[in-house]
Structure 1
Amino acid sequence: MPNIVEHPDRPYVGVRRTITMTTFSEVADRIGELVGWLAQRGIAPAGAPFLRYDSIDMAADRLVVEAGVPIVEPVTGEGDIFAAHLPAGRYATVTHHGHPDQLAGVVEALLKWAAERDLAWDMSEKDGAEHWGCRLELYRTDPRVELDPSKWDIDLEFRLA
């Protein structure tokens, strides 16, 4: 069952790519690199790595997505690795236990749940694309420990307006 949580401003390091539904690995596969980059600097992650959806245009099969790792204190990025903050605010959240391929139905249910409660998203639409203030998939299961994606835990967190 979804609920609403309040989050403070959260620093992270990330990379951003413009992708299609079939080229998701170009951004998702960078999470391990980000964790390694932090480890080389003696910085521990401050939570689950995530994918952040900045822009979604399903009709054009064009998404702007970030892979990110939260950290305690802000740092300076390097190369295409940047430092930023997830914005503070109220987030609608739900946990999915299962394969990431099943997330479309979970997203649909979360959007419906919010609509039934007249909750507005931190999102705008322009030229057929959704532009999100903060829409996250947090991967709480370490794929190095649990190899079976059908046993993963993934939190969705969508910022409310």
Structure 2
Amino acid sequence: MTNEPRVAERPATPYVAVTRSVPMPGLPGVADEIPRVIGQADRPGLTVDGPPFFRYVVIDMEHELVVEAGVPLTSLVAAGTDLGDLEAGVLPAGRYATVVHTGHPDTLADATGRLLRWADDAGLRFDVRPGDRGDVWGCRLESYLTDPRVEPDMSRWETELAFRLADDPA
């Protein structure tokens, strides 16, 4: 089940993540990184502030995806902080097309398709441009709102899709 899509303003949000380039079948391996990222973010000076996410940076469905597995933080990472193999960044502020989907993660492709069609029908443009290795997204998130330790039934998991919209309306 997918709720009605909407446009929402999101603030700039600091985060830490691992970045991986993988073919589409390798995506589950990146998901396995999320518990490790959460564990590494649990250190002095860093405070996790929300659910873990995938950020799709570059999408080329026939070749490779560049994906970040990350967690939002309450504040920017101080210069000189040892993050191991994590990278610090800031998710951009702006208007996002967003929807919350309840269902097994395998059904996210359908929810994504519905969100893309809704935005197109509404005349909304995404913050995306063609790049040498695929479509480069300003910010395309899948945030996992359900904690699997609390809800083991994957068909009841909630996932928020949030795709940044282009700043210019044309």
The TM-score normalised by the length of structure 2 is 0.88
Q: Structure 1 regions of 5+ residues with no counterpart?
A: none
- After the TM superposition, which of the residue ranges 35-44 and 93-102 deviates more from structure 2? 35-44
Task: Pick from 124, 130, 150 the counterpart of residue 155 of structure 2.
Answer: 150
2:139 corresponds to which residue?
A: 134
Does 1:48 pair with 2:40? no
Is 1:118 the counterpart of 2:123? The answer is yes
Tell me the equivalent position of 1:12: 15
Q: Secondary structure in 2 aligned to 1:26? A: helix
Whether the 8 Å contact between 1:59 and 1:128 is mirrored in structure 2 is no
2:94 to 80, 85, 89: 89
C-alpha separation between the residues in 2 aligned to 1:9 and 1:121? 17
Structure 1 CA distance, aligned partners of 2:65 and 2:72?
22
CA distance in 2, matches of 1:158, 1:49: 16
Gapped regions of structure 2 (runs ≥ 5): none
Conservation of the 8 A alpha-carbon contact between 2:146 and 2:158? yes
Are the aligned partners of 2:58 and 2:133 in contact in 1 as well (CA < 8 Å)? Answer: no
Deviation at 1:133, TM superposition (A): 0.5
- Partner of 2:42, secondary structure, is helix
The total of aligned residue pairs comes to: 160
Aligned to 1:31: 34
Partner of 2:68: 66
How far does residue 93 in structure 1 lie from its aligned partner after superposition? 0.2
Report percent identity of matched pairs. 50
SS in 1 for 2:14: strand
Shift, 1:127, TM fit: 4.9
State yes or no: 1:106 paired with 2:111.
yes
The 2-side partners of 1:53 and 1:149 are apart by 22
AA matched with 2:101: H
Alignment CA distance shift 1:42-1:106 (3 Å): same
Deviation string 1:111-151 (CA, Å, 9 cap, x unpaired) is 10011111110001235721100000000001122122111
Paired residues of 1:13 and 1:77 also in contact (CA < 8 A): no
Deviations 1:24-72 (A, max 9, x none): 1332111111111122337432111100000111122x10000010011
State the one-letter code of the partner of 2:147. D
Match of 2:25 among 7, 22, 27: 22
1:77 CA displacement: 5.1
Q: Separation in 2 of the partners of 1:121 and 1:77?
A: 34
